Structure 1
Amino acid sequence: MDLQLKDKIVVVTGGAKGIGAGIVRQLANEGAIPVIVGRNEEDNSRLLNDLAAQGQEAFQVLAELTDPKQAGATVSQIIEKFGRIDGLVNNAGVNDGVGLENGSYDAFVSSLHKNVIHYYMMAQECLPWLKKSGGAIVNIGSKVAETGQGGTSAYAASNGARNALTREWAVELLPYSIRVNAVIVAECYTPLYETWINSLPNPEEKLAATLAKIPLENRMTTAEEIANAVLFLLSPKSSHTTGQLVYVDGGYVHLDRSVSA
């Protein structure tokens, strides 16, 4: 299926590694021009060079999005280079374990900056250009907003906000035909996930127990599978889809646990 994304300028925050990199690679495969927004220039450049070696065009912007001012600077660089923006994928974030019992005000607010405030700032800065292009926004979210996890209040709050903002923006942007959707992730093996699971006392046992709870094929969702859903939601092929939370999770959130026992 031709997703009609050729030469479209699509911004992907946290685009250098993990799910973000999977999205960037699939965009490039479809002939789009992904813009990698990340805080580590070495990571950004590594992916950029990898794509260039395959004859694929991309661009990178070095930005620390926990600083609200850098959203505007990021968009300015993109517009200076391309003159337009056709899509935004808000993806950057980290499950940083700021809980209720052991958290603090400063840690909670810091986590909100890492995980949701830049979603708002990037959408706001991209909006004038998305209005011109009739583009789309896709927010990446987590199951934690629905299932809870324990010990991660700030991340859960951020993901609840991501879901709510998806619906809110879908309504607000109806007059401009800008569609806004979210892809919700449960268990996807990324570098951050690997770091987390290896920090546990028995990582192999924990991983096996997690896989056993994923109903469809008892395996992790791949970054490519997340990316495929994101690309569909960015594309004109989903032209009448907005305000939706799409769970690409092998049935983890909504199917009865007994089916994977």
Structure 2
Amino acid sequence: MDLKLKDKVILVSGGAKGIGEAIVKVLAAEGAIPVIIGRNEADNLKVLAEIESAGAQAFQIRAELTRPEECEKVIRLTLEKFGRIDSLVNNAGVNDSVGLENGSYEGFVASLHKNVIHYYLLAHHALPSLKKSKGAAIVNISSKTAETGQGGTSAYAAANGARNALTREWAVELLPHSIRVNSVIVAECWTPLYESWIKTLSNPEEKLKDIVSKIPLENRMTTAKEIADTVAFLLSERSSHTTGQLIHVDGGYVHLDRAIG
């Protein structure tokens, strides 16, 4: 299926690692021009080189998205380079375990800056260009924590609740401009960050086996590529009448009965 993304300039925050890297590579393979946004330029350049060596196009911008002025910089540099922005993928963030008991005002607010404020700012600054682009779309990557809770991660759960709410709010606000806005909800997805987390536990192999046993479809983790494929579809005109949706790519983890299997 041709997703008709060729030459579309698409911003991807957190595009050098994990799910973001997978999204960038899928978009490049579809002929789009992903703009890799990440705080570590070496990581950005590594992914950029891999894409270019495969004969595709991309661009990279080093930015610390917790700083509001850096969000504006991303948009400015992209427009200086390409003169347009066709779509946006908000993906950057981290489950930083700022809980209710163990957290603080400073930690909670800092986590919101890491996980949702830049979602708003990138969309806000990109909007004038998105409105000029035919078939523009926004995809927000979100997490099950907003729906299931997790414990010990109040700030991250709050940020994901906000991501989901903004998805529907923006879908309504942008109807007059035919800009579609959807969210992909991630549950248990294998990434370098997830692997690092599991290794911090006293019984990583046992814990991973327990987690995987609770994923209904095939008792396996979701892959970053599976998330990326769904994102590419939602950005494409093949999903031209889909907006305001929270789409779970999770092997049934959130909604199917735990008694299965």
Please give the range of the TM-score, normalised by the shorter of the 2 chains. Answer: over 0.9
Deviations 1:172-220 (A, max 9, x none): 0000000000000000011111111111110101100000000000001
1:243 aligns with 2:227: no
Number of the residue aligned with 1:141: 142
The CA RMSD measured in Å over matched residues stands at 0.5
Write the distance in 2 (CA, Å) between the matches of 1:127 and 1:201: 46
Number of the residue aligned with 2:257: 256
Gap regions ≥5 residues in structure 2: none
Q: CA deviation at 1:222?
A: 0.5
Write the distance in 2 (CA, Å) between the matches of 1:19 and 1:60: 16
Number of the residue aligned with 2:229: 228
Number of the residue aligned with 1:72: 72
Number of the residue aligned with 2:218: 217
Write the distance in 2 (CA, Å) between the matches of 1:52 and 1:231: 19
1:71-220 aligned within 5 A: 71-134=71-134, 135-220=136-221
Write the distance in 2 (CA, Å) between the matches of 1:164 and 1:150: 21
Letter in structure 2 aligned against 1:156:
A
Identity of aligned residues (%): 71
Normalised by the size of structure 1, how large is the TM-score?
Answer: 0.99
Write the distance in 2 (CA, Å) between the matches of 1:211 and 1:178: 37
- Aligned to 1:258, the other structure's residue is in SS state coil
Gap regions ≥5 residues in structure 1: none
- Aligned to 1:227, the other structure's residue is in SS state helix
Write the distance in 1 (CA, Å) between the matches of 2:120 and 2:68: 10
Write the distance in 2 (CA, Å) between the matches of 1:85 and 1:181: 17
- Aligned to 1:259, the other structure's residue is in SS state coil
Write the distance in 2 (CA, Å) between the matches of 1:51 and 1:188: 23
Write the distance in 1 (CA, Å) between the matches of 2:86 and 2:96: 31
Normalised by the size of structure 2, how large is the TM-score?
Answer: 0.99
Letter in structure 1 aligned against 2:236:
S
Write the distance in 1 (CA, Å) between the matches of 2:202 and 2:100: 22
Letter in structure 1 aligned against 2:111:
S
**Shift >3 Å, 4+ stretches:** none
Q: Count matched residues.
A: 260
